[in-house]
Amino acid sequence: MSLEFKVLTLNCWGIPYVSKDRKNRMKAIACYLKNSEYDVVCLQEVWTDGDFDLIKNESSNIYPYVHYFYSGVIGSGLCILSKHVIEEAFFHQWSLNGYIHKIHHGDWFGGKGVGLCKLTVNNFNVNIYTAHLHAEYNRNSDEYEAHRVLQAFDTAQFILLTSRGVDLVVLAGDLNTMPGDLAYKVIKTVPGLMDSYECCREPIEDSSTCESPRNSYTQRKSHGQRIDYILYHPGAKLQVALKSYDLPLPDRVPCCPYSYSDHEAVEATLEIGEAPIKHAAQKENETETVLRDSLAVLNKALNDLASSRICYGFVFVVLSCVLVVSFAFGVPPGYSVIYDFARVLLTIFAAFFLLMATIWVKIERHGLLAGKLAMEISLKKLS
């Protein structure tokens, strides 16, 4: 007995008022899906209920089972569409998701994490995971590296703890990390996942899934990045072979000058058989190296956090002193409104830096420590 299992993943770039041509692109994505034949579709950055309802309703004849992972202020943006009954669903929110005051980045407001849907497909137990890791806004000076590495480790641990006895594990999504990056190594190595692209016998010519030269939304000359993945791992009783790997969407929406998203969709077809196969043993020394490198990143982040706390506290003291001095001297005639406004601003900024120096630093520190302790347990097990 064998089974073909076809998966699609796409970052839909559905940020309200920001993403270009959003409504028209969402209609095009919905139209594509209602004419598609996947077993499972994993979508990211579906940020509004209206866009989700549009995609769900348009494709309901093909994908009658749908789950959206609500989280945070604006939702996680993650949803799964399936031909098969979704028997169980769960969302694990990461402890660190960026910074609340970095409103222009916005990752914190999504309450990001990893979503899980459990399916039974022809008597095979299949776990589908989807995730969207924190974006990398500056590769030369990445302030979110520790957050992303920790998110990758949380996802890897979540997969390990929820997939025992499962016949097939699939992780599909925008992982915001390139092959060779530490977060990629963590999320692939720790749970022993295989990259469908790397398993492809005839790799496609241009594998970039973000900032691709052929995408209408790529603003500058770029070779593109491969940051959207379909990773998989068979259970102990199965053999799973990659039948095909592709970027299926055309460069432009038909009869339109724009692409479906600023990301490319990725599809993979897996061939599942019941005959047992000896899977290659996970290289423990490779996993150990990845975990040690991750611990180094987290330790550096903890040291930087201690320095940040001092800086936040110092700024709070300075602003508080300026505020006290402003009340100690009289207000020049005609400047009372300006002085009152300045005092309000000083009070707001002082409160913000006090919050950052106390509550926020504590939250981030505890998140980093939680990941660090879990990594140390995994390292101890390996050694």
List pLDDT tens digits, range 193-222: 999 999 988 878 889 999 999 999 998 777
- d(CA 375, CA 381) in angstroms, rounded, equals 10
**Which tokens belong to 26?**
């969402």
Q: Which residues make Cβ contacts (< 8 Å) with residue 115, sequence separation at least 6?
A: 67, 69, 76, 78, 80, 89, 90, 91, 92, 129, 130, 131
The CATH number given to 2-273 is: 3.60.10.10
Q: What are phi and psi of 72, to 5 degrees?
A: 60, -155
Which H or E run contains 239?
strand 239-246
- d(CA 49, CA 37) in angstroms, rounded, equals 24
CA 257 to chain centroid: 28
pLDDT of 275 strictly over 70: no
Active site residue 263: yes
* Of 163, 170, 178, nearest in space to 210 by CA: 178
- d(CA 257, CA 383) in angstroms, rounded, equals 56
pLDDT digits 0-9 by tens, 308-365: 999 999 999 999 999 998 888 878 887 888 888 999 999 999 999 999 999 989 999 9
Tell me which of 84, 92, 134, 263 is the catalytic residue: 263
User: For the whole prediction, is pTM greater than 0.85?
Assistant: yes
pLDDT of 279 strictly over 60: no
pLDDT digits 0-9 by tens, 238-264: 888 999 999 999 999 999 999 999 999
pLDDT of 131 strictly over 80: yes
- d(CA 234, CA 238) in angstroms, rounded, equals 6
